[in-house]
Amino acid sequence: MSTDELDDFLKEMAGVRPLQHDEIVPETAEFQPSLAQLARREAAEQEMEFDPNYLSMEYVDLIKPDDLIAYKKDGVQEGVYRNLRLGKYQLDATLNLLGKNLQLARKQLFDFIQDCHQRGIRTLLIHHGMGRHSKPHPAILKSYCAKWLSQIPEVLACHTAQRHHGGYAASYVLLQKNQQQKRDNRERHSKRI
């Protein structure tokens, strides 16, 4: 330490007095948190839990029971989308959301799509209903499903199903290939060259 630094230190410490004692007194009673403290701790822990489900529960524009659901990401070929719309692809998995509340439907749809994508399942059918018997507003679940499907990155396209698959009460969903399928596809095409 230089002389200037020592002088500065001593100036700063000029009014400091030593403690009268230096022993630590142990607490005799165990700390018991109050009910309010326990409730605050539980609320804080719940906030800290990460929810991977990013699907929005915010306001949605309601669609009518007989409105079409139609969504296609940029880059999806028109022929692929037309075949999906016409129900020409084999349906590999189906999810029935009829009668479910929005929270449960949100969770089941998200988990179902993630599971199907991970397993390499590409074409799905989602039964969301038309909401004809919902009071006071029809097609709430259908409206949210349309919004949610467009929020999921793995969803390439979706469209209202053909009549024999549920019509306005169901939607076809086309998922992108998972990483393994993409690798396999690259290998298959690189062997042709």
In the predicted model, what is the mean pLDDT of the chain?
A: 85
Task: Give the per-residue pLDDT at 188.
Answer: 81
pLDDT in tens, 121-157: 999 999 999 876 666 567 889 999 999 999 999 999 9
Kindly tell me the burial class for residue 178, based on how many C-beta atoms sit within 10 Å of its own C-beta (0-12, 13-18, 19 or more).
middle
Task: Give the per-residue pLDDT at 191.
Answer: 67
DSSP characters over 35-57: HHHHHHHHHHHHHHS--------
Q: With a cut of 90, say whether residue 30 has pLDDT above it.
A: no
* The dihedral formed by the CA atoms of 147, 85, 97 and 74, expressed in degrees to the nearest 10: -30
SS3 (DSSP) at 5: helix
What percentage of the chain reaches a pLDDT higher than 70?
Answer: 86
Task: Give the per-residue pLDDT at 135.
Answer: 60
Task: Give the per-residue pLDDT at 25.
Answer: 64
Kindly tell me the burial class for residue 176, based on how many C-beta atoms sit within 10 Å of its own C-beta (0-12, 13-18, 19 or more).
middle
Task: Give the per-residue pLDDT at 192.
Answer: 61
SS3 (DSSP) at 190: helix
Side-chain half-sphere CA neighbours of 164 within 13 A:
5
CB atoms under 10 Å from CB of 177, counted, come to 15
H, E, C per residue of 106-136: HHHHHHHHHHHHHHCCCEEEEECCCCCCCCC
pLDDT in tens, 53-111: 678 778 888 888 889 999 999 999 999 999 999 999 999 999 999 988 888 999 999 99
Q: Are strands 170-175 and 155-160 parallel, antiparallel or unpaired?
A: antiparallel
Helices (H), the chain: 3-12, 35-48, 78-85, 102-119, 140-151, 179-192
Task: Give the per-residue pLDDT at 13.
Answer: 87
| Rg for the chain, CA atoms, rounded | 30
